[in-house]
Chains A and B, each alone.
Chain A
């Protein structure tokens, strides 16, 4: 018994190091690893070392499912931190449900899901889409061109955005989907279409390596972000670093966290991160969720005295953490997280100027079918900065 008490506690980590979404998933892995180092420096889990077993699922859903099964059955971990695209989360959920594991998922997604075996720490649509629509329609106008990757998150995000736009009497100029591995030429074609239809702004749900291609194509056909920006829920510091700050500048992103969040906790985390992982590393919304969810897990494990999933599921819902974005809390009922919506505009340094932020956290509402712009203004007081 004593021997076991001194053994490390191990958790599984599934973030892709290769494939279409490897840039952002690498960032999620590093956010996780920073938290792991901090947890161990603070004495681990009641003296036991907190270790991770990390595999590369290569951005492929079937690999996620196979590796999740391997982690639970062969490596004997109870908890998995990971997943970016919805298709990969959907592949892991049956595995954790069948073998009683727990998945912590640090990525924004399209909502309409709850699993008792999952904790969701990224934004639900009522914590980013509504805010983005409100901001864009007011600042830029109501004619919108939608472009997205061809999978479920863009379909659903566009449905929400279309509702909000029609509520304001706006107009959807076009709704275009590209395969996740679409070529440069197809992005140029889309950019030309955008130029020809002259919308007020572009709503992009392109993810992964396509993000850089879209922005580059946008610049190539000489569109001006100051007049007609690309609005996104996913384009963050990691993608900007990949594509170059010059072509990202002026575009708009809605997220609960940017590296530029001006708080003591965030400054400490970012400097700690750069000290350990290199002075050129940037943080972003997914990095932050990966970071704070690992701390939330460690706190829960300390209280539970281990990694028993039934115990963790009693403790995690309702638990809070002082995250870089501000205080966050896991909802007791829906397992999603109270987060702080913000609107940022990419600047010349590859960072975001925060144009707006919610005064308080916003309760996650993943099953909200019909969003209205009043949701945002009634729940949250906006503050221009």
Chain B
């Protein structure tokens, strides 16, 4: 909420009553706002939030930034509610939708919700990526343990201890040691069923 004033907002909307209302309210709130129509092919550097008028002519426009990963949150401004338009809105993964005619009231809540939810979604995605990495690492450690148990004739607990001690003495992660074990095993050509 405190960062509203430093929020860099790009408005892609025609210069009509709705566009003016949107722009005016962003200025009243104190965001740093720029408006363009038709939408730019390249996003301005450092954009935190985008308002995009979903008008029929936008459907056939080529906006390469729309499909890129990690784009700022997009808040669609809709003035049609036909299934074809709703379909286009769904593709934006929007966290807030502004309906025409645009009213000043409600815009503040919408931008805060959109920015906040987008941030939460990003955090969640990062967390999921970390979990995925960890699961993949665990899978490699399991495989390395199985190799050690078979080739050294040790228990699972001891196999893990070998990996962990190696990691600590070489100051690398257990996953890296596991990879080394797996690689060595593949080079030596010993068939180990895990």
State the A residues within 8 Å of B (CB).
62, 65, 86-87, 90-91, 93-95, 97-98, 110-113, 150-152, 155-156, 159, 177, 369
Contacts and interface: CB of A to CB of B under 8 A. Distances in A.
A177 B79 CA distance: 21
A155 B56 contact: yes
A156 B16 contact: no
B101 A112 contact: no
A155 B59 contact: yes
A98 B101 contact: yes
Nearest to A151: B56
Contacts of B82: 110-112, 152, 155-156, 159
Given A91-B16, A110-B82, A155-B59, 17 more contacts: A86-B80, A90-B80, A94-B100, A97-B101, A112-B82, A113-B80, A113-B81, A150-B57, A150-B60, A151-B56, A151-B57, A152-B85, A155-B82, A155-B84, A156-B82, A159-B82, A369-B83
B175 interface: no
Interface in B56-88: 56-57, 59-60, 79-85
B16 A93 contact: no
Contact of B80 (A62, A65, A152): A152
Given A94-B100, A98-B101, A152 B16 contact: no
A155 B87 CA distance: 12
B16 A65 contact: yes
Q: Which 8 A-B pairs have the closest CB atoms?
A: A94-B101, A152-B56, A112-B82, A156-B82, A112-B81, A155-B84, A94-B17, A151-B56
A65 B19 CA distance: 14
Nearest to B81: A112
A177 B59 CA distance: 13
Most buried by A among B17, B59, B82: B82
A217 B85 CA distance: 31
22 contacts: A62-B16, A65-B16, A86-B80, A90-B79, A90-B100, A93-B101, A94-B17, A94-B100, A94-B101, A95-B17, A98-B17, A112-B83, A113-B81, A150-B57, A150-B60, A152-B80, A152-B82, A155-B56, A155-B82, A156-B82, A156-B84, A177-B60
A112 B80 contact: yes
A360 B16 CA distance: 43
Nearest to B59: A155
Nearest to B100: A94
Nearest to B15: A62
A97 to B, nearest CB: 6
A150 B59 CA distance: 11
Nearest to B18: A94
Contacts of B80: 86, 90, 112-113, 152
A94 B57 CA distance: 19
Most buried by B among A65, A97, A111, A155: A155
A159 B60 contact: no
Nearest to A159: B84
A22 B150 CA distance: 86
Nearest to B86: A112
Contacts of A98: 17, 101
Nearest to A91: B16
Contacts of A151: 56-57
Nearest to B21: A94
Contacts of A91: 16
Given A65-B16, A65-B17, A94-B18, A159 B83 contact: yes
A175 to B, nearest CB: 12
Contacts of A150: 56-57, 60
A233 B77 CA distance: 29
B81 to A, nearest CB: 5
A65 B16 CA distance: 9
A157 to B, nearest CB: 10
Contacts of A177: 60
Contacts of B57: 150-151
Contacts of B18: 94
A91 B83 CA distance: 20
Interface in B10-31: 16-18
Contacts of A86: 80
Interface string B79-109: 1111111000000000000001100000000
Nearest to B80: A152
Contacts of A155: 56, 59, 82, 84
A177 B18 CA distance: 28
A156 B101 contact: no
